[in-house]
Amino acid sequence: MRVVLAEDLYLLRSGLERLLEAHGFNVIAAVDNAADLLTALVDEKPDVAIVDVRLPPTFTDEGLRAAIEGRRQVPGLPVLVLSQYVEQLYARELLADQAGAVGYLLKDRVFNDDQFTDAIRAVAGGGTVMDPEVIAKLMTRRQRDEPVTRLSAREREVLDLMAEGRSNSAIAQRLFISEKAVGKHSTSIFAKLNLAPSEDDNRRVLAVLAYLNQ
């Protein structure tokens, strides 16, 4: 899988590169600024790009902007955005084009390399991956809402994991239940939240995020 990596700190860049190579990814370009990133995205059209939010020259949200611009020029280009902190505001901007194939994670998540590489593959495959911290923030708002309070505790757990972009099998593994049970829970969740049921994983995540984002 061809990966473009954008990270300005040398230590992190080389660390990530090593980690990715170790997991069988092919890092075709590792850049340290937004301009190079945009060129790499548009010219190379990688299978997935892993992008730090803060990049030179302004060290603000250069990376995020470059990622959004890259996806504007190459629609549906898979991008996984990494950051030292997560903001719902940025999550919304990433999700705004509704094209899927996008992820937004805290850098800490890299520590768990299995989950991290799962996330990369999910994004490359057109899926949507949101950091649990973003989901938690979305949930606090929704906690007072009628429909969400009607969910059972287990359904809430399934909803959280669904919103993070996990597949049925991953959710089943995580909660130590069968995939079939996950399917049942998700049908019930969609009914309670008045969402149109969907078999496609990515559509499901987008529906849930859109609902939480209202």
Partner 1 sequence: MSGMAFLGLLVVFTIFVLVAQRVVLRLWRRMREQGAGALAIRLHRPRDIRWGAALLPVTIGFLVLAGTYGITNVDGTGSGNLFSAKSIPGDLFYTLLVLAAVTLYTLVQPRRAGYLAAAGLAGIGAWVLFQALVFPHYAYDYEWYGWLRDQLYFPELVLVAAACLTGGFFLTRRTIVADVRARRSGLTAQVERLARTRADAVDSAAAELRRLERDLHDGAQARLVALGINLRTAEKLIEVSPTAAAALVADCRNTATLALSELRDLVRGIYPPVLADRGLGDAIRALALDCPVLTLTDIQLPGRPPAPVESAVYFAVAEALSNAAKHAEAKTILIRATHERGMLRVQIDDDGVGGADPASGTGLAGMEQRLGAFDGILAVSSPAGGPTIVVIEVPCALSSLKTSTS
Cα dihedral 173, 177, 181, 185 sign: negative
Output 23 or 137, the one with its CB closest to partner 1: 137
Query: Contact with partner 1 (CB under 8 A): which of 8, 36, 44, 87?
Result: 87
Q: Does the footprint of partner 1 cover residue 18 (CB under 8 A)?
A: no
Other beta carbons less than 10 A from residue 10's beta carbon: 10
Q: Which residues contact 214 (CB under 8 A, 6 or more apart)?
A: none
> Which residue stretch of 86-94, 118-126, 190-198, 203-211 sits at the interface with partner 1 (rule: CB under 8 A)?
86-94
Asked whether position 73 contacts partner 1 by CB under 8 A, the answer is no
Residue ranges in 138-157 that form contacts with partner 1 under rule CB under 8 A: 140-141, 143-144
Reduced to 3 states (helix: H, G, I; strand: E, B; else coil), residue 154 is: helix
Q: Which amino acid, 136?
A: A
DSSP-derived 3-state class of residue 30:
strand
What does the per-residue mask of binding to partner 1 show for 103-122, with x meaning CB under 8 A? Answer: ----xx--xx----------
**Binder among 21, 26, 35, 85 for partner 1 (CB under 8 A):** 85
Amino acid (one-letter) located at 163: A
Contact in structure between 113 and 19 (CB atoms under 8 Å):
yes
Other beta carbons within 10 Å of 86: 23
DSSP, res 57? T
CB 201 to partner 1: min, Å: 25
Q: Rule CB under 8 A: say whether 93 interacts with partner 1.
A: yes
**Smallest distance, partner 1 to C-beta of residue 137, A:** 6
User: Could you say whether residue 84 binds partner 1 (CB under 8 A)?
Assistant: yes
Strand order in the sheet with 79-83: 26-31, 2-6, 48-52, 79-83, 102-106, 128-130
Residues 160-199 that bind partner 1 (CB under 8 A): none
Taking the least distance from each CB to partner 1, the nearer of 164 and 201 is 164
Our finding on whether 88 is near partner 1 (CB under 8 A) is: yes
**Residue 98, helix vs strand vs coil:** coil
Give the residue with the Cβ less far from partner 1, 65 or 154: 65
- What residue ranges in the chain does DSSP mark as E strands? 2-6, 26-31, 48-52, 79-83, 102-106, 128-130
Nearer to partner 1, 29 or 163 (CB): 163
Residues of this chain that bind partner 1 (CB under 8 A): 53-54, 58, 60-61, 65, 68, 84-85, 87-90, 92-93, 107-108, 111-112, 137, 140-141, 143-144
